[in-house]
Structure 1
Amino acid sequence: MTPGCTPGWKEARSILCVRLDALGDVLMCTPAMRVLRDVLPGRSLTLLTSPSGAAAAPFVPEIDEAIVHAAPWMKTEVPAAPEDLLALAATLAARRFDAAVVFTTYTQSALPAATLCWLAGIPLRLAHCRENPYHLLTDWIADPEPQAMVRHEVQRQLELVRHAGAPRQAGPAPGLSFALRAADVTATRVRLLRIGVDPDRPWLLLHPGASAASRRYPASHWARAVGLLARRTGLPIVITGSAAEVELVEEVRAGCGVGSYSLAGQLSLGELGAALHLAAVALTNNSGPAHVAAAVGTPVVDLYALTNPQHTPWRVRSRVLFQDVPCRFCFKSTCPAGHHACLAEVAPERVVDAVLELLPPAPGARLPSTAGADAASLGLNAG
């Protein structure tokens, strides 16, 4: 185990950043990637990530290039074949990276990705790891989670890159990256006007979908929340979702008893980012859009399934809603107990109250961004 950084990190100009998870996971690595890049003028970062994670790359200025791979040791519907993995190792070897940083959650092993980087001949390899990696890592950082602490995912990754020579930041930690594009903002404004929503006046964005069933607030609860929000705020409510979530969105709209607007299946990721930026408040499950909202500075109410503790909205005004349960932090994509109580027992009235708390005091006004006050109840370490 290396107490400090191995010589050579501060001179490494080309670094491979490995984060093989989804969109939100990549976004939570962007503060660490930013401080890592800024150590050396002209340093370039290449992201090795999943197809879902690669969607974030065009909106992250810290990333110069993305390499896509469906790693068989990660959750993926169609993992890469063995020959694809060997071909990837050859591709990485040809790129002659100076160093690699493997970003993981504490429930994941860094060893498969470390082996890939070792096969590719990348001379410096850094990761958190519980097992002794021997020669697979040049910079082995013993993983203190979850035995000694549990940190927010952003804090975990910032601490990791400090072992690669990145300085500890004075003051608040940096925010997430998601660079809005003018064309996406313009296109989204046009879409809103076409459905009858004035983008320059306050409106609410709701995103009821999530990739994991365990992270989805019940559709009937969403419908009641929509009805209550419409009646108590008088604000237009726009519901977004992927093409696969159109049916869910229509179920919510049909059950709410009030008028609402749908952009489900109509927005690119850049346009979704623009919509989140234009909204007064976003209401989401614990999913990628919650992190996009945080990145673009929009207050967010996060319906937070207790599958894991460390992914709350980062450095944005937020409310994190859940019902505490004995089976908290199950890390499952489907509720193993079958009751889904950590979300199902969150009353829609609580959701509406949280949205009202985050609404700006006057049209167009935005209060200063602060982290949500609910993270402490999840047991997150503040350091």
Structure 2
Amino acid sequence: MSNFKLSGYVKYLETQNFDNLSKSNLATHLLHNRLRFKWNVIPKMTIQAEVRNRVFWGTSVESNPYFVQYLSNSNDFLNLSAAWLEQSGWVGYSNIDRLFVDWKGKNQNVRIGRQRINWGISSIWNPNDIFNAYNFLDVDYEERPGSDAIKYQRNWENLSSLDVVYARTGKSGSIAAAKYFFNKWNFDFQAIAGKYQEVGTFGIGFAGSWGDAGLKGEIQHYLNSVSILAQTNATLGIDYMFSKGWYVSSAYLYNSLGIAEPLNFGQSINLNLSSRNLMPTKHNVLLMGSKQLSPLSTFSLTSIYAPGTKLLIGMPSFSYSLSNQMELNLFWQSFWMSYQSEFRSISNVLLGRIRWSF
């Protein structure tokens, strides 16, 4: 068995963005390559690196002089990105979003470097995922962002574990936290406490079964500089698999600092999602259903509604497996909102993608 492994994929993604307020249509073409390098140095130690290489072109690139700036991850402490092409409406951009050394002992694990720290336990929204939350509207980044961090994990035989993590987060400071995970009454529980940039944070999460349905929840509190509760993010979700192959799930998300009123003239909504801003609206309800139509194809429909703001997002998708290495995906994102006392369609996004893995 070789100690070195190379894998990855090549994808082409076309995005058509229809803005119904400005009556404009912007197109983005993306050629996306990912390379994964894994080297088993010794039986207990692995070095892993993953590189994203992307080339963008289209009217959205031509019309936005700050396009490159939006590609960088503000969570990164080390600058491992480079724009190597910026001319005539074309942008070439590469970044290393995984680069770590991993050591595994009998009951311990230490990982140092840029890594994905996944503390979320719920299926939809993850308030407990304080290190690197992801934007669910970004359908082309299934790996999700990483963090420049040091992580220590200790495991016990009763399915409990302790994670201690310190991460640097760009110009925003650092995140240092501990998570204790354990199983009780056939439920998984976790408790989290630490410091998020300049404020304290603590939370809990759980996952288990309620009859034949899955039940999951998370809550995360943030304190201000004088140890007074400043923000709470909480979610509760339930999912169920029917005998004929339909999978359905629903979830509720609460953001105490979110918008709860209809937008005024000229007011916009911030969909640049982060660990503290999982949704910009205070109350959010999600419903999702998916069905495997055949061994090669799957259809799903997701809807998110925010009462008060009256934001509605509809997201149908379809996937088809062309071969063991090639897949075709279609996505539609439709945004509706109460705007100037009228509930109307704000924008629509059509995405088509083909992917070849190796």
More strand by share: 2
The answer to whether TM tops 0.5 is no
- Normalised by the length of structure 2, the TM-score is 0.24
- Normalised by the length of structure 1, the TM-score is 0.23
Q: Which has the higher contact order (CA 8 A, sep 6+)?
A: 1
